Amino acid sequence: MVEIQGSTADRGRWITVEGARTHNLRDVSVKVPKHRLTVFTGVSGSGKSSLAFDTIAAEAERLVTGTYPAFVRNRLPQHPPADVDRIDGLIFTTIVDQRRFTGNTRSTVGTASDIAPLLRLLFSRLGTPNAGFSPAYSFNDPSGMCPRCEGLGVVDDIDLDRLLDRSRSLNEGAVRFPTFAPGTYRWKRLVHSGLVDPSVPLARLPAEKIDTLLYAEALPLDDPGPEYPKHGTFDGIVPRLRESYLRKTPSRLTAEEQEGLAEVVTRGTCPDCDGTRLGEATRKSLIDGRSIADWSAMPVGDLRELVTSVNDASVAPLLQAIRERLDALDSVGLGYLSLSRESRTLSGGEAQRVKIVRHLGSALSDVCYVFDEPSTGLHPHDVHRLLELLAKLRDRHNTILVVEHHPAVIAAADHVIDLGPGGGVDGGHIQFEGPPDDLASTRTETGRVLRTPLRFKKRTRSARGTVTITGAASHNLRNVTVDVPLGVLTVVAGVAGSGKSTLIAGELPRRHPDFVVVEQAPLRGGIRSTPATVLGVAEPIRDIFGEATGLPPSWFGANGRGACPVCKGKGVIITDLAFLDDVQTACDACDGTRFNPDALAATLNGHTIADVLAMTPADAAALFGEGSPIARRLTWLDRVGLGYLTIGQSLDTLSGGERQRLLLARHLADAGPADDLRLVLDEPTAGLHGSDVDRLLALCDDLVDAGATLVLIEHNQRVIAHADHVIDLGPGAGSDGGAVVFEGSPAALAEETASVTGRHLRAR
């Protein structure tokens, strides 16, 4: 343990942590310099995030939240006191993580980056004919939104051909939607309205009667049946569906309702605004022949040039602010995005970089910003520009903490804190503190990776054949035709937005369905799902507990009879704060184990079900026997580099890269012979330390040597150098990309002057 002497003067220079024990931290004591860029590094699961996020940032947020009135405090995220002996020198802290933006359809890149308000103000000053004040240029304001789609750009409507079976009568279920099924409340209102004979097929009813059934609103009824409500007015089927499901989103939908809506509701571009979301007056207000919708639809890189061409002294400061924000977006590799793109469609890495741009425009200073691997998804060509933004943020008298693995980010730090030596129970210790130049000479895993030079394969494998993608033209692809070799390790590279994922994760499996794509998409099941459930070992474990104890297996499921009655088997209490993020607190009744006392009283070889779910894959495999089916499946977690996880860990605590590797482990556990495997992995090294990358590459080699075909979409230069074959897309992003720049070996790519990837590979 590092001994730290505290003083009042230190509070202005350091964030001091003594005896931190959050998660796997082992009485960690450390001093983090203020107004500097500090990088926390170490192997996956070593405790980096536990120190930076769950100790420093969480305690700072807790203390700030405590200064607000109770009404406000109860509506903010709650954190328990940090498990630490002493923590001092904290300042206002904000976390810039890789969580995707929420599902709000009204949020776009423009609104999320705070550029949209600047554009609205500009058009309210210079647009002709003028549409009004700046709200008149907003699709989120009634004065600016398209009245038909209400600013959404799309309209949902009912497909009557899918909704109605005209060969049936109302009594026979002519309305094909669950809430209108025979016997339901709404069905009774139809058949007892007296408008039509419910025993006659719809096809034989007069057209005007059908029209009334479908579209009537608040229609007084002449002769309703005795079971009809006393108010005696009738609303048709379509208004009922629109009001209940389309104009507002119900907080709870049954599975039947979800299936019914998917069947009968169609979504299309709003015909009135052509998807721009804006009203007619706003669309007709122009600057140099273009509307604000035209500006928002342009790639950021092109929009920068357009803004530069506008010269008007009356709005010079406004134009300067817009240019600075657009330059920042472009500098973090997002020049291919448009401001009109919905923010919920961004990846976690893209979302984080948009948040960085938003913070750069903040007037606040002396803030601590905590970043979670901001280089994720960035080509080496863009990393140096990200570092320039982080340096700008630091130089505005802020403290920057970054959890990272990228060598360039580590090298750019003012101070480095390396944790390890391993992950999980083998981590949680400070391995190194100091300047980055000294880290490479240490015996830590990070030091070893930093001083190990990049090496190209001396001998690449020969392909057993090829599959061809011909004339791919989706998104920014420019009629691409390319051969993908079989039986080798192929890496598809290129700057962010060059078209890699569109070509390989989109076109390849669509044209060759035997290729399976393993993405970083969220896993289904949320908080109740664990690595054990994803790998399919949770049920066998419950069965073994049942056989050993004589209790039904459901007693050992957090979703069954064994669930804690207070948290319902979630392990946490979730408070719904409506317009804010949900707040989660550990369940006091079960201490977060998810199980009730009866389930926890039963043991297997001295272990409760909660004990087993708290084990690492290796420990659990040893408990059930190394040769058992459970152990064989759990082994894949170690092989994909997730051996530090517990098998009962909630999926919502995993990063995108961890979720992807968990999906890969499941697929490999389910797969048959390796020579039948054709896998596409989308940035599998996201969130991986260099030593974990080496482990992943060793697994890839084993699979390919056994006959599998692997295609990796990657920026990591160690992975590119290890490939048998490289396909490089570009030369730029967005409209400047979408073409194949290079095909061949990594060594040949390093000599290709036309390739941005090649230039950076050669520089290493």
> Three-state secondary structure along 303-368?
HHHHHHCCCCHHHHHHHHHHHHHHHHHHHCCCCCCECCCEHHHCCHHHHHHHHHHHHHCCCCCCCE
The string of pLDDT tens digits covering residues 78-107 is: 777 889 999 999 999 999 887 777 667 889
β-bridge mates for residue 467, sequence order = 484
| pTM for this prediction | 0.79
Topology given in CATH for the domain delimited by 453-529+650-764: Rossmann fold (3.40.50)
Task: Please list the residue range(s) of the chain that carry CATH number 1.20.1580.10.
Answer: 109-153+272-344
**What one-character DSSP code corresponds to residue 710?**
E
pLDDT at 129: 96
Architecture field, domain 109-153+272-344: Up-down Bundle (1.20)
User: In angstroms, rounded to a whole number, what is the distance separating the alpha carbons of residues 629 and 539?
Assistant: 12
In CATH terms, the superfamily for domain 155-269 is ABC transporter ATPase domain-like (1.10.8.280)
pLDDT at 362: 79
Decide: 630 and 618 in contact? Cβ < 8 Å. no
Query: So what CATH class is 9-100+347-451?
Result: alpha beta
Residues 6+ apart with CB under 8 A from 510: none
Q: Which segments in the chain show pLDDT lower than 70? A: 1-9, 75, 77, 102-103, 248-251, 521-526, 574-584, 656, 764
Percent helix, strand and coil across the chain, each rounded to 5? 40, 15, 45
Neighbours of 486 (CB within 10 A): 17
Q: What is the DSSP string of 629-691?
A: HHHHHHHHHHHTT-TTS-TT--GGGS-HHHHHHHHHHHHHHH---GGG-EEEEESTTTT--HH
Average of per-residue pLDDT values in the chain: 89
Task: Please list the residue range(s) of the chain that carry CATH number 3.40.50.300.
Answer: 9-100+347-451, 453-529+650-764
User: In angstroms, rounded to a whole number, what is the distance separating the alpha carbons of residues 443 and 432?
Assistant: 10
From residue 174, alpha-carbon distances to 184, 207, 259, 402, 566 in Å are 13, 15, 17, 60, 43
Task: Please list the residue range(s) of the chain that carry CATH number 1.10.8.280.
Answer: 155-269
User: In angstroms, rounded to a whole number, what is the distance separating the alpha carbons of residues 278 and 136?
Assistant: 9
pLDDT at 750: 93
